[in-house]
Amino acid sequence: AQTVTQSQPEMSVQEAETVTLSCTYDTSESDYYLFWYKQPPSRQMILVIRQEAYKQQNATENRFSVNFQKAAKSFSLKISDSQLGDAAMYFCAYRRSNYGGSQGNLIFGKGTKLSVKP
């Protein structure tokens, strides 16, 4: 079974600085998708960034980027120029490819709580 591990329960960053959140996963599949979701105090789950495993290029969305190391099964999130609004729980998630009968279920890590200091 696939598993997702986030080894940092809490992280802290100074406003305008850069922070990296770690995620590792375990799978025997070669085709899959990885996601980072943000959960602010409002509880709403917000997709931050997505990476397709077959793409070697790391995904980027404005201040958010990932370092995807397929061989090492590592998928870290880098937040540049951190803002107060970035303070939230961040969840790493895995999903199998649709091919082969998967129904698109997400498997989540336990989350990292990010604090941003002014």
Catalog residues that contact another protein under the rule CB under 8 A: 4, 9, 33, 42-45, 47, 50, 52, 91, 93, 95, 97-99, 103-111
Q: Where are the beta strands (DSSP E) in the chain?
A: 3-5, 10-14, 19-21, 24-26, 32-39, 46-52, 60-61, 64-69, 74-79, 88-96, 107-108, 112-117
CB within 8 Å of 107: residues ≥ 6 apart: 2, 3, 4, 93, 94, 95
Question: For residues 26 and 81, which CB has a smaller minimum distance to another protein in the complex?
Answer: 26
**Smallest distance, another protein to C-beta of residue 22, A:** 15
**Smallest distance, another protein to C-beta of residue 48, A:** 11
**Smallest distance, another protein to C-beta of residue 12, A:** 18
Question: For residues 41 and 118, which CB has a smaller minimum distance to another protein in the complex?
Answer: 41
Question: For residues 16 and 40, which CB has a smaller minimum distance to another protein in the complex?
Answer: 40
Which residue has tokens 């802290």? Answer: 12
Read off φ and ψ for residue 86, nearest 5 degrees. -80, -15
**Smallest distance, another protein to C-beta of residue 1, A:** 9
